[in-house]
Amino acid sequence: MGLAAAALVGQAVDAIDTPALVIDLDAMERNLRSMAAFAAQHRIALRPHAKMHKSAALARMQMAHGAVGVCVQKTSEAEALAAHGVHNLYISNQVVAPAKLQRVVALAQALQAQGGELAIAVDSLEGLRRLAQAADGQATRIRVLIEIDVGQGRCGLPPGKAAVLLADEIARHPALHFGGLQAYHGRAQHLRTLAERRDSIAQVVAHVTATMAALEAAGHAVPLVTGAGSGTFALETASGVYGELQAGSYLFMDRDYAGNAPDPAQPVFEHALFVKSQVISVNADHAVVDAGHKAHAIDSGLPAVHARALDYSNGGDEHGILHGPELPALGDTVWLIPGHCDPTVNLHNHLVGVRGGLHKGTVEQIITVDARGALT
Ligand SMILES: Cc1ncc(COP(=O)(O)O)c(C=O)c1O
């Protein structure tokens, strides 16, 4: 953490220099508790995706509220969180480079020695053999989840009997054991109507069920099905087939997710992640803030302006252009709600945690983005 950031603790929100990524801690903790209560009520495990916040402090907070561990997407992300005290990690993604797999095995051993775990997904026989090559003969037993493509057309084996070959191969390696199925449909998360999401997850569940039947017929019990994100997790839960939820964005709630028609079966989550920006230029019909797409990701669209009737348009990497009936004055603070939380967080070294609201609150905590840039 930089000295300037550390010195903010205890100061009023006004003291936060711009642009800055700010967490409304009260809103975030309400999201945290709502999700934990949902999982507890439905007796389903929660393993939030930490690729969203990339922060060991937030992962530990989620685990202190009942999460069984967290997911990560990359080897280096797992290493960064483990280095800061997160000891139960699952790489919900494919790792095939032999050098990386050696790091995976070394980290799995280190975490096991501390009573923790590093689990991993695979979706090919070749990938599995490479993992086995790194793990065989080592004092470790790595839980391996077979990923199936449940409709996104990204990673994963076709649903059905293709998974049996991999489960057979896992059984041949004492350093590995079969942990069940990775079954996540990313695009389904952002389908706008509940009916669309329901139809999509019904197909997901059919693919999972067919794969489980094939595995069980071949003598492989399926201990767990893991998946789901912040847009659909109530549907996977209601299926009765999933044992673990991987939702991540619920903690911060970006602008894109707010565009989903709500599912009454899910808790309502609040925006907790904001870019604090400042008006640096005012003209007859527009104002300009000091936060462009170096301060927030725009892959899922531009940010919304919080609590003001203003539209944000793209002014480039360092500027945002505001239009609206009541333009802000030079020097004013404007709070932006990023379009997509995950890549926005990856643009910042730390998150400034504010208690008591965005207007009158106080900086309580500086949260380091430990796995910032951990993309390998
Ligand atoms: C494999 C996997 N699981 C879970 C998630 C979490 O989804 P969300 O942040 O939308 O809740 C993601 C996000 O992309 C993912 O790729």
In sequence order, what E strands does the chain have? Answer: 20-24, 45-46, 70-72, 88-91, 117-122, 142-147, 176-182, 225-227, 244-245, 273-282, 287-289, 304-305, 311-314, 320-323, 333-337, 350-355, 362-368
pLDDT of residue 5: 86
From ligand 1's centre to the CA of 75, what distance in Å?
A: 16
User: What average pLDDT score do residues 264-278 get?
Assistant: 98
* Structure tokens that stand for 201 in this block: 């997850």
Report the 10 Å Cβ neighbour count for 219. Answer: 10
Q: What is the model's pTM?
A: 0.97
From ligand 1's centre to the CA of 246, what distance in Å?
A: 6
CA distances 299 to 120, 256, 265, 296, Å, are 27, 10, 28, 9
* Residues across the chain: 376
Q: How far apart are CA 39 and CA 50, in angstroms?
A: 17
Q: What is the pLDDT of residues 353-367, one digit of tens each?
A: 999 999 999 999 999
Q: What is the pLDDT of residues 156-188, one digit of tens each?
A: 999 999 999 999 999 999 999 999 999 999 999
Please tell me the residue having the least CA distance from ligand 1 atom 14. 186
User: What average pLDDT score do residues 89-106 get?
Assistant: 98
Percent of the chain with pLDDT over 70: 99
Residue 192 has pLDDT above 60, yes or no: yes
Name the pLDDT band for 1 (thresholds 50, 70, 90): low
Please tell me the residue having the least CA distance from ligand 1 atom 3. 246
Q: How far apart are CA 191 and CA 288, in angstroms?
A: 32
Name the pLDDT band for 3 (thresholds 50, 70, 90): low
Q: Mean pLDDT across the chain, nearest whole number?
A: 97
Residue 4 has pLDDT above 90, yes or no: no
Q: What is the pLDDT of residues 273-325, one digit of tens each?
A: 999 999 999 999 999 999 999 999 999 999 999 999 999 999 999 999 999 99
**In whole angstroms, how large is the CA radius of gyration of the chain?**
22
